[in-house]
Amino acid sequence: MSVTKASADLAEQFSRALHELGVVKPQSVIGLAVSGGGDSIAMMHMAARAVDPKRLRAVSVDHGLRPEASTEIALVVGQAQELGIAHTALGWDWDRKGNLQGAARQGRWAAMHDWAAQTGIDALLIGHTEDDQLETLLMRLARGSGIDGLTAMARVDLRDGLRVGRPLLGFARDALRDWLRAEQIGWCDDPSNDDPRFDRVRARQMYAQLETLGLTRKRLLQTIDHMQAAQRSLRVAARDFARLHVRQDAGDLIFDPVALDLSKDDAPRRVMAAAISWVASRTYKPRFESLIARVEQLRKGQKVTLAGCVLLPLRGGGARILREAAATLPYTRPTGCTLASMGIRWDQRWHLDGPVKDGLRVQALGDAGLRDCPDWRQCAMPQVSLLASPSVWLGDRLIAAPLAGLSNGWSAQIVADFHSGAFGIED
């Protein structure tokens, strides 16, 4: 195959992979996290061929830790400009707490998350490759991870309310480098990617040795597939369990006594972790042993705080997770929002735009009390209308914008149906 043909094939394969993620929708604005390394540089160039560059926004974070970082970002700025992609450079200050790599990752994520919220990004693409996926699997094995950990990275997930897509997960790092060379596109190699002090680098070296034992790329990827299938089944079981044992009460979640027995079965643990994520509006991935220990305290009648959520024991043996106590957390609420929690006054007019998935229910509050509108498009509430200029977004599910004035005494709230996708266990 000629170099040009192979190159075009890879770009086309990328375009397919990107569209299969389901995050590119008409009018959506897509963010690209570009460090200047080969993977994310390739992602930026291929994305510019797959999507109108005017709908792309690139972002680079300078951690201020390496002198070369500013050169790397300058390279990204130049290439983004040539491609017609708007670019933003963000900084980060290390408070010298915690391990450097972990702190840098967290700081980078927080900076990009804020940037995405302010820029109106519908989904952020990250340049993780198949190699990163295998390294993740090995690192998780080394930590004794369970099924969720061994699924490695998802192609799409919702992190703290922001949709994150990984279109390169099916691409080998070497193939991307070959593509860049064939296209004569430059990139930077970060020397810390070869520094054996870092877990990921050692995982990469270990992987090279494991291959000689027959533990091939293909087999490891197969294991990830099996784990992902198992995870899907467990989520369905957890959803069914939640239907039976958890209910909403005035926005709080009520767990019956059976739902607090986390020690034996996967479903209650999964439901509790999902509930806490939902209430706190941020991703909560507990070590199950520590979750079980905390819930044991709760079962003994003690109040517990977990990931910023308050859990109160109930007299009959169950528990209540308070929604309001978590409402002050500085996170965009991905689902389960009331307009008030999004900073919109209840007495303002508002409208919805975009696909409202299962599980988001519009309720209209008027003199006649609370009314459910199962399909918001059919909702009789007079203020609901479609408009193309969103000002508040929630993941990619819902966009609401306040409008001035209100007639005839109606107000409204958006609530998430606890038993459905909005809760996160069906994602």
Span from 36-44, 153-161, 264-272, 415-423 in contact with ligand ATP (CB under 6 A):
36-44
156 binds ligand ATP (CB under 6 A): no
44 binds ligand ATP (CB under 6 A): no
CB 223 within 8 A of CB 140: no
126 binds ligand ATP (CB under 6 A): yes
Which CB atom, from 59 or from 274, has the smaller least distance to ligand ATP? 59
State the DSSP H helix or E strand holding residue 398, giving kind and residue range, or none if neither.
strand 398-403
Span from 59-67, 140-148, 238-246, 371-379 in contact with ligand ATP (CB under 6 A):
59-67
Which CB atom, from 59 or from 279, has the smaller least distance to ligand ATP? 59
Q: Is 36 annotated as a binding residue?
A: yes
In whole angstroms, how large is the CA radius of gyration of the chain? 23
132 binds ligand ATP (CB under 6 A): yes
Which CB atom, from 179 or from 410, has the smaller least distance to ligand ATP? 179
240 binds ligand ATP (CB under 6 A): no
Q: Which of 34, 180, 267, 298 binds ligand ATP (CB under 6 A)?
A: 34
Which CB atom, from 39 or from 148, has the smaller least distance to ligand ATP? 39
Q: Which of 17, 18, 30, 37 binds ligand ATP (CB under 6 A)?
A: 37
47 binds ligand ATP (CB under 6 A): no
114 binds ligand ATP (CB under 6 A): no
Contact track, ligand ATP, 184-203, x by CB under 6 A:
------x--x----------
39 binds ligand ATP (CB under 6 A): yes
Collapsed DSSP state (helix, strand, coil) of residue 346: coil
Q: Work out how close the CB of 124 gets to ligand ATP at its nearest, in angstroms, rounded to a whole number.
A: 9
Q: Is 2 annotated as a binding residue?
A: no
Per rule CB under 6 A, count of chain residues that contact ligand ATP: 17
CA angle centred on 105, ends 99 and 106, rounded to 5°: 85
Residue 132 class from Cβ within 10 Å (0-12 exposed, 13-18 middle, 19+ buried)? Answer: buried
Q: Is 35 annotated as a binding residue?
A: yes
CB atoms within 10 A of CB 365: 15
Collapsed DSSP state (helix, strand, coil) of residue 291: helix
Sign of CA dihedral 59, 120, 418, 165: negative
38 binds ligand ATP (CB under 6 A): yes
135 binds ligand ATP (CB under 6 A): no
The CB-nearest residue to ligand ATP is 37
127 binds ligand ATP (CB under 6 A): yes
CB 63 within 8 A of CB 69: yes
| Both structure tokens of 19 | 């569209």
Q: Work out how close the CB of 130 gets to ligand ATP at its nearest, in angstroms, rounded to a whole number.
A: 12
Q: Which of 11, 23, 31, 40 binds ligand ATP (CB under 6 A)?
A: 40
Collapsed DSSP state (helix, strand, coil) of residue 99: coil
Instruction: Report the candidate in 338, 341, 323 with the shortest Cα–Cα distance to residue 415.
Output: 338
Question: Which parts of 45-170 are beta strand (E)?
Answer: 56-62, 86-91, 123-125, 156-159, 162-165
Q: Work out how close the CB of 223 gets to ligand ATP at its nearest, in angstroms, rounded to a whole number.
A: 21
Distance CA 200, CA 198 (A): 6
Q: Is 343 annotated as a binding residue?
A: no
State the pairing for strand pair 56-62/30-33: parallel
106 binds ligand ATP (CB under 6 A): no
Q: Work out how close the CB of 38 gets to ligand ATP at its nearest, in angstroms, rounded to a whole number.
A: 5
Tell me the one-letter amino acid at 134: L
Q: Work out how close the CB of 91 gets to ligand ATP at its nearest, in angstroms, rounded to a whole number.
A: 11
| Both structure tokens of 138 | 């090995």
CA angle centred on 70, ends 65 and 74, rounded to 5°: 155
| Both structure tokens of 389 | 């200029």
Distance CA 361, CA 7 (A): 46
- What are the Cα distances from residue 192, in Å, to 178, 195, 197, 352, 419? 21, 5, 9, 46, 44
Give the residue numbers of the binding site for ATP. 35-40
Binding positions for ligand ATP, rule: CB under 6 A: 33-35, 37-40, 59-61, 108, 126-128, 132, 190, 193
